[in-house]
Chains A and B, each alone.
Chain A
C-alpha cells in the first residue's frame, strides 16, 4: 500500500504542495471551487474525462459545484441527465469500460441507494470478476452528511457501506486545501472511486494549490501532533476536532488529530504510530457508530502492537444510531459537535 504521510504540527492543518510540482502560489478558494477547478483541469488535460449528473448543466449543480463548467465544455461533456441514478451510474460504468473517464455527480449521497446495483455489483467487481481483462475508471462524487436541515433521506453518511465493498476506493476530503489534489488522484485512478464531499464544507475555504499536484489515495494526514491523545477523524469531523484541539491546548491537554483522507485504501501506519506514542485513541465520525468505519480503525489498533501502549480503552464518538432528524436542535444532538469532542477528550484524560 502506498504510504505518503503528511506531517504537520500545530493548529495549521495545511498540506504543503508537493515540492517542485509548481511554482504557483496557492489561492484561497472554497471547497466547491477547488472541486470545480480539479474537474476543469482534468477535462482540459484529457478528452476522456467527462461529467454526467442531474442538473449539472445550466443549473450549475444542486450545490453549485459544476458552476460554469457547462459553458466552458458544452453539453456533450457536461452532460445533464434525467433523474435516473441507476441509469446514469450504469452509463458511467459502460463508458469507463469503453475507454472513457466519467465523473458522475449524484445530488445527495443518499440517492446512491437508487444506483447500488451498478456501484456494488458492477463497478466494484468487473475488474476482478473478469480476471483483470477490463477496468472501470470512474469517479462517483456525492455530498454526504447532516447539518442542513434536510432530514433523514438527505443527510446520511454512508461511507462505511462503500468501504465494505472490495473493489471500491473511498475518499472523504476534509478541507478545501486538499479536495483538489484528492479529486485529481481519483480521476487518474483506474478503479471506481466513491468521492464523498461533506455539504457543510462546500463553502469553507483555504489555500488551494494552483498546480495539478495529486494527493495519493491511501495517504493518511497527521493534522496536528500532540502528546496526550490521538484523535482520528473523517470528513467534517476533522475540522471540529482541530477546533476542539485548540481549546484543549489551553487546558493543557495536547492532542494529535489524524485524518485518513481515504477510507479505502487505508494508510493505517500513521494512525498506529501516533496511538503508540500517545497511548490514547479517540475515534470520531459523523456516521452512526454501530458497525461504522471507526470500528475498523479500533480493530486495526487492537490488532497491532499499539495495543500494548494503550493507557486507556479506545473510545468512539459517533453519530447516534438513529436517522438524522429535521429540527435543528435534534439534528445537532445527533452527531458529534465540538463540545462533545471536548467532553470525550477530557473524560479520557481524567480516567487514565
Chain B
C-alpha cells in the first residue's frame, strides 16, 4: 500500500506551487539558478507517485540543458511583458476573465481582499499586479504550507478547512483562466523552456484540483 504523510504531501505541493510561481517571474540569474537547483532537489521518487510526474520529468530534463535556459530574458519579455497589451501571453487573470469595459483594477482589488482574508499581503517589492499568475500561485503555495503545518499538528479540522480554502481559491481563480493561459504559452513557446514549464504547471494544477476535490468528497465526518 502506498502511504504518505499528509505533511510531506503538503510540503511537496507547496514547493511545486512556489516553483511555478517563481518560474513565471523575470528570470534573473539568481532566480534561474534556484529554479534549476529546485528541479534537481525535489524528491523524484515521491513525485513518481503522481500522474503529472511525466511532464515534471520533461521539465526537469529541460532545466538541465544549458541551451534551453540561456537567453530566457528575451523570451520572457516577448511572451509575458512586452509593454501594455503587447505581451503574447499576458499572465494576468483580468486579461482572460474581464468582461468588455470591466477594468483590470477590479480584479486586483478583489484579489487583494482575498489575499488579506487568507492572511496574506503583497510585498512592497512585488512588481506585478495581484492578479499576476505568480501571485496566485504563491497564494496557493502559502495555503499548502498552512496545510502541511496542520498535518504536522495532527489537527484534522484545520487540515480539512485549509483544503477547502485551497479548493475555493483554485476554483475561483486558477481553474477559470490558468489553463487558457498555459495553452497559449504551450502554443507560442513550443519547444522552449516556457512551453515546458506551462505544460508541467498545467498538469500539476489540473491534478491538484482533482486531488482537493477527491479529498473533500471522500472525507467522511
Q: Do A and B make up one complex?
A: no
User: Which residues of B come within 8 Å of A, CB atoms?
Assistant: none
User: Which residues of A come within 8 Å of B, CB atoms?
Assistant: none
